[in-house]
């Protein structure tokens, strides 16, 4: 099986003021010690430009993007605006937005296509609720989300990654078992093959939900886990960089499960 370079992306959510730019600098500087891993920070849109200027060459991203190129969409941010501010990637379809902003799979697909079309790398999130997990419907739910939200084709100029984030694992300290993660990531990989043929093999599949330094090594060693989307533990270099180090440590090792 082909092993992809790991991507560790931080999702700062609604955290980050000017006073936190020093932390962005520390993270970028320390991440430079692990050149075998791709590292990114997705910050609030209003902080993107300052963060990007603070750490030239380090990947700064957004957390959402509007599907339209421009227009009468009060309060929204287009893909070109993100790019113009210095972002190189964006998250789309995070469960907090699917829930609070009622974003549908079709919305998420349009957002992903809008980002990719201007050359922004996209991390597209999927994940099931606890109720669906307990009802034995986790894989069916996630593959259904993929069917509705995967972009029509893969652009060569920008990269698509998928983040599997079980809703019940986000910010809770609970994580699925190794077998559950392996099963889901294999199902996602199969869907990507069905959709994109051989190119599906180069789409990175990240795991997200309560990733911490203490569990990262085990998560990164699971087959088809090509990195992580990290929330709470990405806010401080002291929590985030050990996760990057864990990704670097498994480079080249044989995956389990």
As annotated, the active-site residues are 94, 165
Residue 221 DSSP code: T
Our finding on whether 171 is near ligand PGA (CB under 6 A) is yes
Q: Structure tokens of 84?
A: 């113009």
Bridge partners, residue 208, by sequence: 229
Our finding on whether 93 is near ligand PGA (CB under 6 A) is no
Q: Which helix (H) or strand (E) holds 126?
A: strand 121-126
Q: Using the minimum distance from each CB to ligand PGA, give the nearer residue, 70 or 172.
A: 172
Our finding on whether 209 is near ligand PGA (CB under 6 A) is yes
Residues 7-26 touching ligand PGA, rule: CB under 6 A, are: 11
Residues 146 and 109: beta-carbon distance below 8 Å? no
Q: Using the minimum distance from each CB to ligand PGA, give the nearer residue, 118 or 123.
A: 123
Q: Which stretch binds ligand PGA (CB under 6 A): 103-111, 143-151, 180-188, 203-211?
A: 203-211
Q: Using the minimum distance from each CB to ligand PGA, give the nearer residue, 63 or 141.
A: 63
Dist CA 192 CA 196 (whole Å): 6
Dist CA 115 CA 113 (whole Å): 5
Dist CA 105 CA 97 (whole Å): 11
* Least Å from the CB of residue 218 to ligand PGA: 15
3-state secondary structure of 37: coil
**Radius of gyration for the chain, computed over Cα atoms and rounded to the nearest angstrom:** 17
* Least Å from the CB of residue 157 to ligand PGA: 25
Residues 138 and 184: beta-carbon distance below 8 Å? yes
* Least Å from the CB of residue 245 to ligand PGA: 17
Q: Using the minimum distance from each CB to ligand PGA, give the nearer residue, 31 or 230.
A: 230
* Least Å from the CB of residue 215 to ligand PGA: 11
Residues 119-138 touching ligand PGA, rule: CB under 6 A, are: none
Q: Using the minimum distance from each CB to ligand PGA, give the nearer residue, 80 or 213.
A: 213
Among 115, 176, 208, 227, binds ligand PGA (CB under 6 A): 208
The CB-nearest residue to ligand PGA is 231
Q: Using the minimum distance from each CB to ligand PGA, give the nearer residue, 188 or 211.
A: 211
- Output the CA–CA distances (angstroms, integers) from residue 121 to 60, 156, 233, 244, 252, in the order listed: 11, 10, 22, 19, 24
Dist CA 243 CA 128 (whole Å): 24
Q: Which helix (H) or strand (E) holds 194?
A: helix 178-196
Residue 43 DSSP code: -
Among 118, 132, 206, 230, binds ligand PGA (CB under 6 A): 230
Q: Which stretch binds ligand PGA (CB under 6 A): 19-27, 71-79, 187-195, 228-236?
A: 228-236
What is the binding site for ligand PGA (CB under 6 A)? Answer: 11, 165, 170-171, 208-211, 229-233
């Amino acid at each position: 099986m082909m092993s992809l370079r790991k991507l560790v992306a931080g999702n700062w959510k609604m955290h980050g003021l000017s006073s936190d730019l020093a932390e962005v600098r520390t993270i970028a500087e320390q991440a430079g010690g692990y050149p075998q891993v791709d590292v990114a920070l997705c910050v609030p849109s209003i902080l993107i430009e300052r963060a990007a200027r603070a750490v030239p060459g380090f990947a700064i991203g957004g957390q959402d993007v509007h599907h339209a190129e421009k227009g009468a969409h009060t309060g929204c941010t287009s893909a070109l605006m993100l790019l113009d501010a210095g972002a190189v990637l964006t998250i789309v379809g995070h469960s907090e937005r699917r829930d609070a902003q009622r974003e549908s799979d079709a919305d998420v697909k349009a957002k992903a296509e809008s980002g990719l079309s201007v050359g922004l790398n996209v991390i597209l999130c999927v994940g099931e609720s606890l109720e669906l997990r307990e009802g034995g419907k986790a894989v069916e739910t996630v593959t259904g989300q993929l069917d509705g939200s995967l972009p029509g084709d893969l652009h060569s100029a920008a990269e698509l990654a998928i983040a599997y984030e079980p809703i019940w694992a986000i910010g809770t300290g609970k994580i699925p078992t190794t077998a559950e993660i392996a099963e889901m990531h294999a199902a996602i990989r199969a869907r990507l093959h069905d959709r994109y043929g051989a190119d599906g093999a180069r789409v990175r599949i990240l795991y997200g939900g309560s990733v911490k330094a203490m569990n990262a090594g085990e998560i990164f060693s699971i087959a088809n886990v090509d990195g992580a989307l990290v929330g709470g533990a990405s806010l401080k270099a002291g929590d985030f960089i050990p996760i990057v180090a864990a990704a670097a440590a498994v480079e080249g090792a044989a995956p389990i499960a």
